[in-house]
C-alpha cells in the first residue's frame, strides 16, 4: 500500500495555523465543550452534567478561555437568582466541520 505524502505548504496557508488551532481545541475538554454548545445555548450546570468527569474548576477555566478566544460568548442575566448562559460565536460555529471530520476519522478507525 502506497501512502500519499502531502507537503506541509499544501495543508497550511500560513505557517503555524494548525498549531494555533490545536492550542485552542487540542485538549480533552475543549472540543467536547464546543460539541455540547453546538446543540444550543447552555448553562454551566447543564454542561457539567453532560460532560461526565469534568471538575467544576476545569469547566470554569475552559469556559473562560473560550470566551477570551471569542469561541463562545457568555450572557449574564440580572435576575434572582443570577443566570449565566453560554453560546457559540460565529468563530465557534466554524469549528463544527473540523469536529465532524475528527468524529468521522474516529468512527473509521475506532477499535472496540
Give residue-wise pLDDT tens across range 14-51: 778 888 888 888 888 999 999 999 999 999 999 999 99
Mean pLDDT of 69-73: 96
Decide: 72 and 92 in contact? Cβ < 8 Å.
yes
Total Cβ atoms within 10 A of residue 62: 21
Domain ranges of the chain: 15-100
pLDDT digits (tens, 9 = 90+) for 77-103: 988 888 999 999 999 999 999 999 999
Class of domain 15-100: mainly alpha
CA 41 – CA 106 distance, rounded (Å): 26
Amino acid at each position: 500500500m502506497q501512502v500519499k505524502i502531502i507537503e506541509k505548504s499544501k495543508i497550511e496557508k500560513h505557517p503555524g495555523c494548525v498549531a494555533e488551532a490545536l492550542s485552542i481545541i487540542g485538549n480533552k475538554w475543549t472540543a467536547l465543550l464546543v460539541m455540547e454548545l453546538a446543540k444550543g445555548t447552555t448553562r454551566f450546570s447543564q454542561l457539567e452534567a453532560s460532560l461526565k468527569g469534568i471538575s467544576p474548576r476545569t469547566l470554569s477555566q475552559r469556559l473562560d478561555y473560550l470566551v477570551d478566544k471569542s469561541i463562545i460568548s457568555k450572557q449574564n442575566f440580572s435576575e434572582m437568582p443570577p443566570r449565566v448562559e453560554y453560546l457559540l460565536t460565529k468563530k465557534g460555529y466554524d469549528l463544527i466541520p473540523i469536529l465532524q471530520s475528527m468524529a468521522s476519522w474516529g468512527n473509521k478507525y475506532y477499535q472496540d
